[in-house]
Structure formats: C-alpha cells, structure tokens
Structure 1
C-alpha cells in the first residue's frame, strides 16, 4: 500500500509540475506578445515623430522659399521704380553671347536709343 501512495504522490507532483510549466509557458507567450505590441507601438510613435519633423521642415522650406520670392520680387520692383524707361544707363546694357554657330563676337545689346 505504501507503494501505491508513493506512486499517487509522484503523479500528483508530476501533474503540478505540468500545470506550473503550462502556466510559465503561457506567461512567457503573454510577455512576448506584450513586448511585440510595445515594440510595434514604439515604432509607430517614432514614425509619427519623424513624419511630423519632416512636415515641419517642408513647411519651413516652403515659407523660406516664399519669403525669398517676395524679397526678390520687391528688389526687382524697386529696381524698376528707380529706372527711367526713356533714359539709357549702364544698367540697361547687357552683353550676351551670340547664339549663332559661327565664331562671331559678343553682341552689345542696348535696351533704349541714346539721344
């Protein structure tokens, strides 16, 4: 009878160990799933952060480009306002390379007639 009791205790111990192993494996799977979820969430946050920074940089570049265009337009407007269209000046003369295929000299173009 002692042998039967000993075998029953061993079966009980084995059963308990199997339950503990199953619980440990379930906990490990749950931890792995949580780690994977957290990793995925961290990646999504990182992607969103860099997308926001990229969008901000593009907006800043666009703003800078727009400001540059406005400054350039104002510069040319002031230049035109200062210039008298009926009068020649050194600003109205431009040296342009001749587009002909022969080896002709540069031409001097004058925007207005001199009096």
Structure 2
C-alpha cells in the first residue's frame, strides 16, 4: 500500500518537472519574440528618425538662402523639431524592457511622437512651396 503512494508522488514530481520545462520553453519563446519585435521596431524607428534628420537638414539648407522674414518664421520651428527628433533618438537608445504592457505603451507613444515630428516637417515643406 505504501508503494502506491510513492508511485503517485513520483508521478507528481515528474509532472511538476515537465511543467517547469514547458514554462521555461514558453519563456524562451516569449523572450525571442520580444527580441524580434524590438529589433524590427528599433530598425523602423531609426529609419524614421534618419528621414526626419534629412528633412531637417534640407530645410536648414533652404533657410540659409531664404529671406530674413522666412528665416525668422521657420528657424525656431525647425530647431524645436530637431530637438524633438534628438529626444526620440535618445529615447530609443535608452529604452529598457519593463514588461509587455509597458512595451506596447512605449511603442504606441513613440510612434505617435515620431509621426508628430514627421508630419510637422511635411507641413513646413508644404507651407514653403
């Protein structure tokens, strides 16, 4: 009769070990998925930031040859957008993963901020034309 209890205990231990192994595997897969998602997001964000930098540089070149009135109107705005773009660059470099919910929140907020800068640059160019 005691032997049956040992078999039952051994089975429970074996089941628990399997559960732990499955949990470890699930964690590895989740970490790998996050890493892929992060790299893709980071690459896309860096491309958007670089595109913003190029647009800012192009506009700065135009400002140099523009009238004084035009310079006064847009220099400050371009400088502010350049600063915001720099802050976005810094934000992506300094980001530390704090869980899935925070990650999703960061992505949404970051994309919104990048779009604001990009759209503001497009607006400046369209006003200039």
* Two-structure CA RMSD over aligned residues (Å): 2.4
Q: Distance in 2 between matches of 1:88 and 1:63?
A: 38
Q: Distance in 1 between matches of 2:20 and 2:59?
A: 58
Structure 1 equivalent of residue 22 of structure 2:
42
Aligned residues: 75
Shift of 1:55: 1.6
Which runs of no fewer than 5 residues in structure 2 stay unpaired?
Answer: 77-129
Q: Under a length normalisation based on structure 2, what TM-score does the superposition of the two structures give?
A: 0.49
Change (3 A) 1:73 1:90: same
Which runs of no fewer than 5 residues in structure 1 stay unpaired?
Answer: 1-20, 97-115
Residue among 42, 62, 72 paired with 1:93 = 72
Q: Under a length normalisation based on structure 1, what TM-score does the superposition of the two structures give?
A: 0.54
Residue among 43, 55, 70 paired with 1:63 = 43
Shift of 1:51: 1.3
Change (3 A) 1:36 1:64: same
Query: Which has the larger share of helix?
Result: 2
Structure 1 equivalent of residue 104 of structure 2:
none
Larger radius of gyration: 1
Structure 2 equivalent of residue 24 of structure 1:
4
**Greater RCO, CA 8 A, separation 6+:** 2
Aligned partner of residue 73 in structure 2, secondary structure: strand
Structure 1 consecutive aligned stretches of length 4 or more whose deviation exceeds 3 Å: none
Query: Which has the larger share of strand?
Result: 1
